[in-house]
Amino acid sequence: MAQSDNNTLAVPAEESKYVTVFNDPVNFNAKHPLHSSWTLWFDNPGKKSNANNWEQSLKELITFDTVEDFWGVYNNIMKTCDLAISSNYHLFKQGIKPMWEDPANKRGGKWSIQLPRNKTMGEIDNIWLFTMLACIGEAFEYENEVCGAVVSVRKAFFRIAVWTRSSDNQDMAMSIGRTLKKAANIHGTMEFQSHHDSSSNAGKAWTV
Ligand code: MGP
């Protein structure tokens, strides 16, 4: 480490491959890049929505690619517990629309759990926060498999889901399900279902 002119410790850029706050401890303005850029979406489709017009209610809110910008977004949007019934937040890798029809999702599926609203009100904000942190922080062994995450606010429950790129590899799916449960401290059984089965209301595939 080098002693800079104003007596603060500075890491010369060539000594570290990462840009951290220590590269400029005076201005403290370095940002920590995420591996992927992520886009936050919101929707509240309402009762008149169906599979044909559902996309129209999707609103793209913001894209970020650093840790600091994630917190900037998180600290300035409404918490899940305060959202109106029928609302959803979708956090997806940039370029992937949070819908079954997107090329990245169309052969995929999702891990999900419905948590009773009355019992989960005090915990849902942290469960969603830690779900997002697991996604953007690449907690998953098969990171490339993860397309995004969704939190849904319904009259009787909150639903947390993580969407995957494929739905035919049980080992990969189980690994993601187990990691998600642990990272977000989710109690209860999560179910995996392919989007194809969700849209046709077919049975569940795997549980964790
Ligand atoms: P939902 O909100 O995922 O299910 O989908 P939920 O919470 O069980 O239902 P709700 O009525 O309580 O909100 C609800 C409906 O939205 C679906 O039946 C579709 O009509 C539409 N929809 C949801 N998604 C995720 C999609 C999608 O990806 N593509 C299309 N075309 N429609 C969708």
Task: Tell me the pTM.
Answer: 0.89
Are 153 and 88 contacting, i.e. CB atoms less than 8 angstroms apart? yes
**Confidence (pLDDT) at 28:** 73
**Confidence (pLDDT) at 2:** 44
What stretches in the chain show pLDDT beneath 70?
A: 1-21, 199, 201-204
User: What is the CA(45)–ligand 1 centre distance, in A?
Assistant: 9
Q: What is the CATH number of domain 33-207?
A: 3.30.760.10
Kindly state if the Cβ of 100 falls inside 6 Å of ligand 1.
yes
The residue ranges of every structural domain in the chain are 1-30, 33-207
Kindly state if the Cβ of 167 falls inside 6 Å of ligand 1.
no
Which residue has its alpha carbon closest to ligand 1 atom 8? 154
